[in-house]
Amino acid sequence: MDGSVSAAIEVDHLQVSYGSQRVLHGVSLSVAPGEFVAILGSSGCGKTTLLRTIAGFQKASGGAIRLFGRDVVNTPPEKRGMAMMFQSYALWPHMTVLGNVGYGLRLRGVPKEEVRARVAAVLKMLNLSGLEDRKVTALSGGQRQRVALGRALAIEPPILLLDEPLSNLDAKVRLQLRSEIKTLQSRLGFTAIHVTHDREEAMTMADRIVVMDAGRIAQVGTPKEVYDHPNSPFVASFMGAENTLALDVRPSGAGVEVRADDGSAALYGGSVPVGAVTAYFRDDIASLDDPDARIDGSIVLPGKITQRTYPGGHYRYVVAIGSRHFTVTDSRYHELDRPVGLRLPLADLHLFPNAQNTGGHHA
């Protein structure tokens, strides 16, 4: 037998179509028992379709879904042994907190007294003790989402699927619930797949992140791997490295010389693609230096400060380089129109060969 039984969820070349339109193009993903995986992507990338197909609400048109080694691709949702938590809470408005949290237990024929005891234990975990007889319509958004989480957890599912459950809540409650869900998941040990378009939410909650693009998986890795080592321009910009810069990389001695269009150049000893490349980088790696500084390992682009704001704790500058503008934070006060050098450490740039460039790597 293959090793797939060791996986809690094994999605194998999954295809989904709506009519003649293919939405998932052969997605494969393995999730270990007790792992928390976030599926991250923008609207329409297929992440919710993937979750709904794993849950059984959407029919697959090809491929397999195995839960603990059992193929469930044709099994109805209620027989898949998992719970799902939605963005809209999906609570029964006419029921109390007890009625909602105990709903799945009653469906499974659990005796009344045991339902009450198990619901009380779940509510205690969620800081909702004493609200058993309260109507859910009388609760705040954060409390309702906790009730929805309680309903999912009451049946003690081995797998919990979360479909953007925090996006309707205000920022403070969202942060609180993020850490509560993560703490409960570590404590109870269930396997979780969480769909979100919020990068920070995925980074802070997940053991691994799956970045999706147009019905395919673009990259899978730990939050640090995907953030620090994006494997494509798409993933780099999705993870916040939205600034781009054209560079030319040529072998030089033991390393390479990296040159920008304006003639600025630097030597570098790291492993980078050679030839015409595009660098992707986040604002926070840039710093201000002298316009004519030459620093090995960093490229310094001469420019001019065009804007200065003080958001608190540091200054934020806009630096014009030719017709382009870059944002830089710096603790020091600088005058407007002052010539400066935009310093970019080469180790923090994500360099990708331009389509027509097949120059390979220089190690």
Superfamily of domain 243-362: Nucleic acid-binding proteins (2.40.50.140)
Give the mean pLDDT of 249-255. Answer: 89
Domain with CATH 3.40.50.300 in the chain: 3-237
What are 215's two structure tokens? 């019905």
pLDDT above 60 for 31: yes
pLDDT at 4 over 50: no
Instruction: Tell me which of 3.40.1390.30, 3.40.50.300, 3.90.1200.10, 3.40.50.970 is the CATH number of domain 3-237.
Output: 3.40.50.300
pLDDT confidence bin for 361, thresholds 50/70/90? low
Please check the confidence at residue 328 and state whether its pLDDT lies above 60: yes
Query: End-to-end CA distance of the chain, in Å?
Result: 40
Question: Is it the case that residue 358 has pLDDT exceeding 60?
Answer: no
- Are 132 and 118 within 8 A, CB to CB? no
- CB-based burial, 313-334: b 16+ in 10 Å, e otherwise: eebebbbbbeeeebebebeeee
Kindly state the average pLDDT of the residues 281-310: 93
- pLDDT of residue 15 exceeding 70: yes
Which pLDDT value is given to residue 60?
A: 95
Which amino acid is located at 353 in the chain?
P
Express each pLDDT in 45-72 by its tens digit.
999 999 999 999 999 999 999 999 999 9
- SS3 for 296-346 is CCEEEEEEEEEEEECCCCCEEEEEEECCEEEEEEECCCCCCCCEEEEEEEH
Vertex 39 angle, CA 34 and 43, to 5°:
155
The arithmetic mean of pLDDT across residues 154-183, rounded, is: 88
Q: Which residues contact 169 (CB under 8 A, 6 or more apart)?
A: 141, 142, 145, 177
Banded pLDDT at 351 (limits 50, 70, 90):
very high
Q: Are 168 and 87 in contact (CB under 8 A)?
A: yes
> For residue range 184-202, what is the model confidence (pLDDT) as tens digits?
899 889 999 999 999 999 9
363 confidence band (pLDDT: 50, 70, 90): very low
pLDDT, residue 315, reads 95
Where are the CATH 2.40.50.140 domain residues in the chain?
Answer: 243-362
pLDDT at 86 (0 to 100): 81
- For the chain, give the mean pLDDT: 90
Q: What percent of the chain has pLDDT over 70?
A: 96
Residue 1 has pLDDT above 60, yes or no: no
Would you say 196 and 202 are in contact if contact means Cβ atoms under 8 Å apart? yes
274-297 average pLDDT score: 92
Band (131; pLDDT cuts 50, 70, 90): confident
